[in-house]
Structure formats: C-alpha cells, structure tokens
Structure 1
Amino acid sequence: MNTSSTARIFPIYDPKNPPEHPGEEWTRFVCISDTHSHTHYNVPPGDVLLHAGDLSSWGSYPQLAKTVNWLRTLPHPVKVVVAGNHDLCLDEEVELYKSSVVTAAKDMMRNEAALQAGIHYLEYDSAEVTVQNGRTWHFYGSPAAPKYASGSFQYRDIKQGDKIYNRIPSSTEILLTHTPPYGIHDLCKKGTHVGCRSLASHLQSDQLANCRLHVFGHIHEAFGVSIDTLPGGLERVSVNAAIRRSDFPIIVDLRN
C-alpha cells in the first residue's frame, strides 16, 4: 500500500479480503484496462470502476458484447469506460465493419441497459457523475493512442495528438486515456518509452492542473501505479491498469 493525506493506493492485496473502504470522506476507484474479452478477473467492490480500453480482443461486436455483459454484472454503482485500439467495432473511421454494426456497438455502450448498470461510455467526452457519498467527480475519457499498427482510434503525430488533448476540460479530475503519457508507465518489452509526448505535455500544463487520477493501459508490461506531487501541491495518481492474469485490479482511494 502507498498512502498520503489525499490518496491510498493498493496494487497488491488479498482478492478474497480486499482492503476496507476508508469511509464517506473518500471515494474508491477500481482500475482495470486491456481485458480483451476475458471476464475471469476477481474485481473488488468500490464506488467507481474505471476501464481504460481494449474491451475486446479483436474488435468484433460479439467480443465487445461479452465484456459489456460482464461489466453490467459488476457491483460498482458507477462504471466509466473508454475504448482502445482493439475495439474496432466502435470506430466508424476504421471502415472494417458496416455502419450498422458500429451504430449497434455504440448503442450497446450507451443504451438503457448500460445506463441502468451505471456504465458511462466516454469517447472524447466529459461527464460529471455523483457517487453514493454525494461527491461529484469530473471525468474525461479518450480512446486514442499513437499509431503503431492497424487498429482503432489512432493518430499519427504530435499535431493530431494536440488536437485530441486540447479538448480536455480544465475541470477534469479523473482522466481516462487508452495510451499512457510518455515516460509514465510506458516502458515496453524492448526497453523504450512508447507513451504519447503530446499527452505528457498536456498533463504538465495548467490545463490539467486539477487532474488527480489518470488511468490508462495499452502497454501491458508497464502495469503499475505511482503518485506524484504537482507544482501547485496537488497529488496526482497515475495508473497503468493493463491487467494480466496474475495482476489485481488496482484500487485507488481519493479523499473527497
């Protein structure tokens, strides 16, 4: 466990006996990513479930539906979700699936059944969500990642990245992106940093001075969590939640 006055982080714990919720002055976020149609994970309860993309394995509608049906069964009253580069049937620009399939996939993420299950699907969107303790949190979600192979929601250069991340409101407290920022939990198997430089620059700017939690995935081998103090004194937790079979969903408690 890593703790401070405003955050408690649990990357490892007994899944049969997860750490006790710290009380109404805190909000518990449970962070996962890159589940790729697998639904065997032991996900602990919490106030908010955050999923940072790659819901499906190879982007088909049935694979996406498997994950969405699983998410609906989880006990978290709020579930904030973005897509990733594997979620092809959610990206109309890929042109792999008919427009009717893309429309149906997007509807599945946002229909009444999803809303009743507490799912908030963000695709370059923001949302204000009030959790059970009465705290309203400001979320923003982006599915994008720098292009490196065929896939969905990808951009080619810093200019395109800047256009995407300029859209993030300054009120954002909880940020979900599929890609990591450059230099933060983005070290790949080859030993190089492969995160997004544009996103890293925006995270260091006044635009995101209110961001307390940034959850991402994409680079599976860089799974992990850290906490840093920003120049203004605000603490920010960064989580690569690209979960593998041996990993636990990362628990982050933030003081309201």
Structure 2
Amino acid sequence: MVVKTHIEYDSVDSIPHPGAGWTRFVCISDTHSRREPLPFGDVLLHSGDLSAWGYPHQVKAVISWLKEEPHPVKIIVAGNHDLCLDARLPIEAHVDETPESLESIREYVRSQEVKNAGLNYLEHESMEFTTEGGRSWKVYGSPAAPHYAGGAFQYKNEAAAKELYNRIPLDTEILLTHTPPFEVLDLTRKGKNAGCRFLGERLEMLHSCRLHVFGHIHEARGALILKNEDNNERVAVNAAIAHRGSKPIIVDISH
C-alpha cells in the first residue's frame, strides 16, 4: 500500500487525482452546521458533529448539503452534538422537539432518498462499497465518544466502551469514529490526551484497517501514518474543520 496525505493546499482544485489504481478519500468532521468547499474524490467521509446543536432542522440542512456533493460514495456518522439522532436520550434532552420530529429525522437519514444520493449513515454498523476503479472497501462507523458534559452517543465506563468497540469487525478496512483513540491526534489546548484508550486497544487488533478518520478534538487536526505489529500501515486522520481556514484532509491510497 502506498499512501499520500494532503493536509494544507491552495484550493480544493489544486491537487489532481492520482489516477487509476488509487482511491481518493476526502475526510471531514465537526462541520457544526457549516457548509465547506470540498475537493472532489472517490469517497467523502464525515466523522460526526454534523450539526451545531443537534436540532432536526440542522441535521436535515447538512444532509441536504451532502446530498448535493458529487462524490460517488459518501459515508457519515454522528457525533456528540447530533442530539436528535441519539434514540437513547430522554425527550427532555431535546428542547422544543416532539417524539414525532425526532423519529422523522432518524428515519430521514436512513431513507431511500438519502441513499439514492450516495449518502450512507452508519451508527455502530458496517457497509461495503466498490469504487469506480473496482476496489472494494469494508467500512465501519461509530458515533460514540467518552462522556464529557452533556451530549449524544456518549459512554461513561470501561464496560460500555469495550462493548461498543468490540463490535468493530476484524476485517474492517476503513473506520469512522467521532472520538480519537488515546494519544493519537487527541491533544487538547490544555495538554490533555482526550482520546479513548479502549478504542486504541481495539485498533491494535484491526490488522486490516488502512484508514481511521475521526474528529471531536478540533485543535488536534492532522494526519499520521502508523504501523501495526504486522508492519502494515494505517493512516490516522483527525479531520475536524471547525476552525476557520481548516481544510478537508485528502488521503490517497493505492490499490
């Protein structure tokens, strides 16, 4: 596997696609209801915090934006801001919303209309797709993150974390999570590593994983190429673009 990452560049049109034999992934996260100019690629990956405050109309507006994007495959997960998508939260967590409005947006993100636009919503689940170049990829997506104040899809203890991350199939090649793993692009402004240890432990078992995209810790945006015990490479991408001027991160992977 050969990998090229593009973190800073002049414009969304300034980096040509490497051509046949490559898959181009365009990675974003933490857009918080903002529309951003996106480079074209084979696959668009969004690792959560689609919305600013988790209202159904905000999530629907983001879905409308992403439906319009021309990437053949688009895969998204939710994040801790996307309250309306977390069915576990009590109704009291949703200001001025009804059970009907919440059910409606949860159905909409999985609707055939959305899927027909090439947009796939994953919530602790897998999918597989084949690029126009003929490369098939196995993907898993999770919106979960360690508990911090209020929010959606959060877990509070070790048992819950392990149960969630043990669901990730061992043959996963592309992983989307909202949280980073511990000590991988997870350093906060206060110097704390805010990633999840248990996600990191699971990643050590995912020998087929070639790309892990996450966000959540805005200030830790960037990309690293890591090696596992089999000497296989995995690209880790904190794709948060909540800060003004931050660009989507492009990852090109050879077949």
d(CA) in 2 for partners of 1:183 and 1:101? 38
CA distance in 2, matches of 1:84, 1:51: 10
Matching residue's letter, 1:246:
G
Structure 1: 5+ residue stretches without partners:
none
CA distance in 2, matches of 1:72, 1:18: 23
Q: Structure 1 residue 147 and structure 2 residue 147: aligned?
A: yes
> If the length of structure 1 is used for normalisation, what is the TM-score?
0.95
Tell me the equivalent position of 2:124. Answer: 124
Using the alignment, how far apart are the partners of 1:222 and 1:105 within structure 2? Answer: 31
Where does residue 232 of structure 2 map in the other structure?
234
Deviations 1:178-216 (A, max 9, x none): 0000000000111110100100111112xx110000000
Match of 1:20 in 2: 16
1:145 maps to amino acid: A
The code of the aligned residue for 2:164 comes to: I
Which residue number corresponds to residue 187 of structure 1? 187
Q: Secondary structure at the match of 1:227?
A: strand
Are 1:15 and 1:42, in contact at CA under 8 Å, matched by a contact in 2? no
2:188 and 2:16 mapped to 1: Cα distance? 34
CA distance in 1, matches of 2:11, 2:24: 15
TM-score between the two structures when normalised by the length of structure 2: 0.95
1:218 aligns with 2:216: yes
Quote how far apart the aligned CAs of 1:16 are: 4.7
What are the Cα deviations for residues 137-182 of structure 1, in whole angstroms up to 9, with x where unaligned?
Answer: 0000000000011000000022210000000001100000000000
C-alpha spacing 1:69/1:209, structure 2 compared with 1 (3 Å): same
Query: For the structure 1 residues 141 and 16, does the alpha-carbon distance in structure 2 shift closer, same or farther, using more than 3 Å as the test?
Result: closer
Contact map agreement 1:158 1:197 (CA 8 A) in 2: no
Please state how far the C-alpha of 1:100 moved relative to its aligned partner: 2.1
Amino acid at match of 2:138: H
Q: Which residue of structure 2 lines up, in the alignment, with residue 35 of structure 1?
A: 31
Distance in 1 separating the partners of 2:10 and 2:17: 14
Report the number of matched residues: 249
RMSD: 1.1
Greater mean alpha carbon deviation, residues 112-121 or residues 234-243 = 112-121
Per the alignment, residue 57 of structure 1 pairs with 52
Superposed counterparts of 1:70-85, under 5 Å: 70-85=65-80
Contact 1:179–1:217 (8 Å) recurs in 2: yes
Aligned mates of 1:13, 1:242 — CA distance in 2: 16
